[in-house]
A and B are shown apart, each in its own frame.
Chain A
Amino acid sequence: MSLANPDAKGISVKQKVALATGFIGFFILILALFNTNLPNKGVFLTIALGLITAGTILFANNAYLTKLEGIKNDGVWFKSLSSRGVLGWLTGVGLTTFYIILYFYAELLGLGTNGEANTGLIALFDPLSKLLSGNPASQWFVYGTLYTIAIIAFGYKFILKYRHNKYQQIRTVSVIFFQTAFAFIIPELMARLNTENFSLPYNDLKNMWPLNYYAFDGWRVDQFINAQTVGLAFLIFGILLVFVISPILTYKYGKRWYCSWVCGCGGLAETAGDAFRQLSDKRVSAWKFERWMINTVLVFAVVMTVAVISTYLGYDANKYWFTKNVFLISVVVFLTALLAGVIFFKRDQLNKTALVGAFAGYSITIGFIALIYFFDINQVKVNAAYFSFGLNTKVYNLDAALRSFYGFGIGSIFSGVIGTGFYPILGNRVWCRMGCPMAGILGIQQRLFSKFRITTNGGQCISCGNCSTYCEMGIDVRSYAQKGQNIVRSSCVGCGICSAVCPRGVLKLENDSLQGRINSNEVLLGNDVDLMDYVNKN
């Protein structure tokens, strides 16, 4: 191959101006980070965020509106940023560093500790935080604001990129809406309702357990209960969401209703992360690892939550209506009924590996519950320094240690540092694919109890590989399409990009009847009808 640079197009003058605009905004944030004394922080914050947004919008306008509508993947594998080149690695290192500082060294960002005022970057965001919630900013407010800006700005870019595709546009408007309203503005405004004798925890209504692993932490549940009607309503909604609303929606539409329409992690992945979707690993070995990994995290999330809840129930049963033992027994009954039901009704769809995995997960969970039931596990003390690289040196009871380890290992390192920091290396959905326990649950529902599938259009597949390449979940879509099989995979988040990039109109996301949803016919449409019958019989 030639040594000449194939990406001859480079970027246009207008795109350079747009990039410069965005970088000036970014530079203001850097100045603030290094404690430059910016007068009138509100104005500078507005300018900084405004320039970043404007830069992205200008860039997108020039990149897409100057061309006819259609698939815009030219040069993806020539660009350093999107093909694990130098820019990709630098971005990965930069993002990873940012996440580590955010989670573990927030004081470096200027977080005021012990009642001191914020300084640096966090102080820059004080005016906006005071405007919304009335309180000074925290590192999470800074993160939330930048996160929302990223989804809005890159969401706009995505909508232009797919301006021929209504499904992509509507879906993107949806993630922008849920991030901006539900994850950001509403909880911030609700903080204003808090008074001395009334307070609600920061509550993103759509953030379900177990993605929201702290949903049923003692202090949160206490706050909800103390907040009377409103608090209880939120608590009950949170439980209904997991056990009623989500299963119904997943049955009707597949897990996409959450993962690529509502979820904040999904929202960022689909917008700011869109440029990295082709980097997901498509090997069969990666799929094997994924199944093992995500279900392990799910089991961990369940065990940790049960330990946490049973502990505070053990302290004061009157306050929570039922006792620790009633709770533990209900969990065992529920899980046993669930497993028995699945095995009985879906026995023809479960292969040996699935059964082994289900029994292993079930046994570990039940074993652990028995341990909690018969022993006072909180006699066991754990020094968090062992698992937090010395970042946390407190000594915890076992339940709190589990909770702390989960928060550190899964909540911070996996979903944040690796999940987002490694976008330019591992692709934009590595957390959703390998780690998210919510995606794990929804995936099991989608595989076994859903009308959703990606339909393959008869014999039209030419095995080109665009669908597999651009699948952010690393599904080898082509391997199904070229056999004429529908794609019914638990990991599929229904982003619809495989269908969009297919040059021959082979793939369609559908909610259709359960009959014929999983078709394993080997011979494709188009050949001799008798031959097809013959082969399918064998």
Chain B
Amino acid sequence: MEHIVIIGNGISGVTAARHIRKMSDKKITIVSSETDYFFSRTALMYIYMGHMKFEHTQPYENWFWKKNRIQLKKGFVSKVNHESNELIFSNEETLSYDKLIIATGSKPNKFGWPGQDLEGVMGMYHKQDLENLEKYAPNSKVCKHAVIVGGGLIGIELAEMLHSRNIPVTFLVREDSFWNGVLPAGESGMINRHIKNHHIDLRLGVNLKEIISDDHGKAKAVVIQETGEVIDCDVVGLTAGVSPNIDFLKDSGIELGRGVKVNRYLETNIPNIYAIGDCAEQHEAIGNRRPIEAVWYTGRMMGETVAQTICDNRIEYKPGHWFNSAKFLDIEYQTYGWVFGQPKEYEQQFHWIHEDDTKCITVSYHKDSKEFLGINTFGIRMRHEVFDRWLTEKKDVDFVMQNLSTANFDPEFYQKYEKEVLSAYKNSQLQTV
């Protein structure tokens, strides 16, 4: 029986395993050094906040794996020997495979800051990071102040986590407005204000110079590059993005760039080895996507795709229309299609913001053809299925604005804003003509 080994028990690897099992009787083994069972990484924050316990983040009960004949192996793979089709573990154990799927995800970026490896300095990605945070920041007595470096999705989540335990947070963001590499200015500005409304000390346009150690090798303060200001703290969160977790593949003969290089079939340069999820890097970016997509949904879709290929239905990874979501403290965010933080030269954007400063949308369309290109929505839920269809049908922006209520996904009895949005849109059209 063919033995499929998957390194990594995150959403990519587990999705691949489930789909392979559905289509075949192959022997499947998932290897992980992080946890015994699959859990939802995106839910780690809720454990620290006390919304859930760790077991609640596990989507499948523990009997699921045995029942579906998916073997779980705990261990750290230190080397892949593709000539003998063998994994070598850090404890010298070996495991042979017929086909190998690399789904090892990401690790937090560190940019060589002095003091970045001190105690009390951590990312927020692995379960071990959470345990570390619990150790150094159990409450506001042990951790009197925390500094977060890097203004992305994980950074704001970490800020929310610490805030939930009343730990004062200083949030250092390199950009001059939160996440404005992705979000258009109006949205980014609204999130800046929302962060501050939560009494989080948001510092825009600043960089970390160094982290200062106390006498015991533990972080005690950070220094800001621009001003030289020293901020005392007990915990430093490094959340300046993530990069593929592939150090163990160095010199393995598998072609690497920033991630594991794969073609559209998610195949590496070695015939029976595949890579999916955060750690995979496309030779060429697909559409407007990045070559490395470190997103839950793309990991899942790559898992679905590679399972087909492994089960003798070789297909390309051909994701549909881009979508994503996040939550910034109390404000939910969804995006469908493409809305760029710095509008492309063909792109026109319409922005509407509610007077309460917690809801806004940005609609992107082609300035000549008026084709609808994408929408960002904050504080208003929208239907994935409807936007997916409109993008496929290449609807024009007028149609989308007039039918916006079809896409509304807010709970019943919620106030509706479509009329207000439409009249604002019409006004904007009059002004630009």
Contact = CB atoms under 8 A, between A and B. Distances in A.
Interface stretch (B93-101, B300-308, B362-370): B300-308
B21 to A, nearest CB: 13
A397 to B, nearest CB: 47
B227 interface: no
Interface string A1-16: 1101111110000000
B139 A4 contact: yes
Contacts of A535: 304
Contact of A505 (B334, B412, B413): B334
Interface of B: 11, 22-23, 40, 42-43, 46, 49-53, 56-59, 61, 131, 134-135, 138-142, 164-166, 197-198, 296-297, 300-301, 304-305, 308, 313, 315-321, 323, 325-327, 329-330, 332, 334, 381-385, 388, 392, 409-415
Interface string A516-538: 00000011111111110011001
Given A2-B138, A462-B42, A524-B300, A9 B165 contact: yes
B40 A462 contact: yes
Contacts of B305: 527-528, 531
A70 interface: yes
The 6 residue pairs across chains A and B that have the minimum distance between CB atoms: A458-B384, A8-B139, A70-B330, A505-B381, A464-B43, A4-B138
Given A504-B334, A526-B320, A528-B315, A465 B56 contact: yes
A505 B325 contact: yes
Given A68-B197, A166-B415, A505-B381, A5 B139 contact: yes
Nearest to B298: A526
B411 A531 contact: no
Interface in A494-519: 496, 499-501, 503-505, 508-510
Contacts of A524: 300
A209 B265 CA distance: 61
Contacts of B327: 503-504
A236 interface: no
A76 interface: yes
A460 interface: yes
A199 interface: no
A284 B59 CA distance: 12
Contacts of B326: 504
B388 A458 contact: yes
User: Which of A71, A459, A526 has the most C-beta atoms of chain B within 10 angstroms of its own C-beta?
Assistant: A526
A459 B50 contact: no
Contacts of A7: 50, 139
B51 A74 contact: yes
A4 B142 contact: yes
B297 A531 contact: no
Interface in A460-489: 460, 462-466, 468-469, 478-479, 482
B324 to A, nearest CB: 9
Majority secondary structure of chain A interface residues (helix, strand, loop or mixed): loop
A531 B318 contact: yes
Contacts of A323: none
A522 B385 CA distance: 15
Given A8-B138, A8-B139, A531-B318, A478 B59 contact: yes
Given A459-B323, A525-B320, A74 B164 contact: yes
Contact of B409 (A5, A6, A508): A508
Given A465-B58, A469-B51, 8 more contacts: A2-B134, A167-B412, A508-B381, A508-B409, A509-B412, A526-B321, A528-B316, A531-B318
Contacts, number: 192
A77 B330 contact: no
Contact of B330 (A1, A68, A504): A68
Nearest to A7: B50
A512 to B, nearest CB: 11
Interface string A57-97: 00000000000111101111111000000000000000000
A2 to B, nearest CB: 4
User: Which of B313, B382, B413 has the most C-beta atoms of chain A within 10 angstroms of its own C-beta?
Assistant: B413
A87 to B, nearest CB: 15
A288 interface: no
B50 A167 contact: no
A2 B235 CA distance: 15
Contact of B315 (A284, A459, A462, A531): A531
A469 B11 contact: no
Given A503-B332, A504-B332, A457 B40 contact: no
27 contacts: A1-B135, A4-B139, A6-B138, A8-B166, A9-B165, A68-B197, A164-B330, A165-B411, A167-B411, A167-B412, A283-B61, A457-B384, A462-B40, A462-B325, A463-B43, A464-B42, A469-B52, A496-B411, A504-B326, A510-B412, A525-B320, A525-B385, A527-B304, A528-B315, A528-B317, A530-B318, A531-B304
B319 A77 contact: no
A4 B141 CA distance: 10
A248 interface: no
User: Which of A73, A170, A465 has the most C-beta atoms of chain B within 10 angstroms of its own C-beta?
Assistant: A465
B278 to A, nearest CB: 14
A459 B383 CA distance: 10
B43 A70 contact: no
Contacts of B164: 74-75
B60 to A, nearest CB: 8
Contacts of B131: 1
Contact of A1 (B134, B141, B296): B134
A77 B59 contact: no
Contacts of B43: 462-466
A523 B307 CA distance: 12
A2 B120 CA distance: 14
Given A463-B11, A479-B59, A528 B320 contact: yes
